[in-house]
Amino acid sequence: MLALLRSFEDLRVELLAEDEDGVHGYVALSRAWLDARERLVDVLVLSPLGVRPERQGTGIGTALLAAAVEAAAEDGAPLVFLEGSPDFYAARGWDAASEHGLDRPSVRIPDQACRVVLLPAHEPWMTGRLVYPDVWWRRDLVGLRDPDLAAVEAAVDPG
Ligand SMILES: CC(C)(COP(=O)(O)OP(=O)(O)OC[C@H]1O[C@@H](n2cnc3c(N)ncnc32)[C@H](O)[C@@H]1OP(=O)(O)O)[C@@H](O)C(=O)NCCC(=O)NCCS
């Protein structure tokens, strides 16, 4: 998947958490769009974020997330979105996209699992649908499918 993103020149930022023992975590930002009423707006999608199992729970994921948001702001992006655990990301300043007039790229992403951070370049008119580039659809990597979708919906969007 990362190779495909690179080949389409969609990959914008890659960050590693590493020390003398090696690489312990990784995060990437790639290109996406916001289909606003006025025009298409270049935005970023954060994926993947991963930390080696033996280092999980030591703050690496949180640090990578903060560094990625900083890099996105420096890149001039108005917002970053992602799909992920509502609890983990809400605790780190990521809002539900729907709170800001932003529609999920697919209804197969539970509402509370589509999270967003608005950056200084964001303007109030920037609302509408978040759109993944073709590469995500080619690999069928958007959202979840049943039975996983139903199980996650029951957990994060009860009722
Ligand atoms: C989720 C993940 C990136 C967090 O990184 P981390 O370095 O372990 O996280 P930190 O040490 O900075 O923070 C610990 C928090 O992560 C939470 N966490 C750990 N694994 C998690 C998981 N699989 N899903 C959701 N949250 C998780 C812990 O409960 C803790 O939450 P709290 O601080 O709100 O109580 C990491 O555990 C991971 O790589 N998991 C497997 C891959 C994955 O799920 N990637 C994210 C896709 S959304």
pLDDT at 4 over 80: no
Q: Mention every residue, 6+ apart, whose C-beta is less than 8 A from residue 14.
A: 26, 27, 28, 29
Q: Whose CA is nearest to atom 9 of ligand 1?
A: 61
Q: Whose CA is nearest to atom 15 of ligand 1?
A: 57
Name the residue among 62, 41, 64, 66 with its Cα closest to residue 121: 41
Residue 129 confidence (pLDDT): 98
Mutate to test the pocket of ligand 1, among 23, 27, 47, 88 (most ligand atoms within 8 A of CB): 88
Tens-place pLDDT, residues 29-45: 999 999 999 999 999 99
- Ligand 1 center to residue 85 CA distance, Å? 9
Domains of the chain, first to last:
2-156 (3.40.630.30)
Tens-place pLDDT, residues 64-104: 999 999 999 999 999 999 999 999 999 999 999 999 999 99
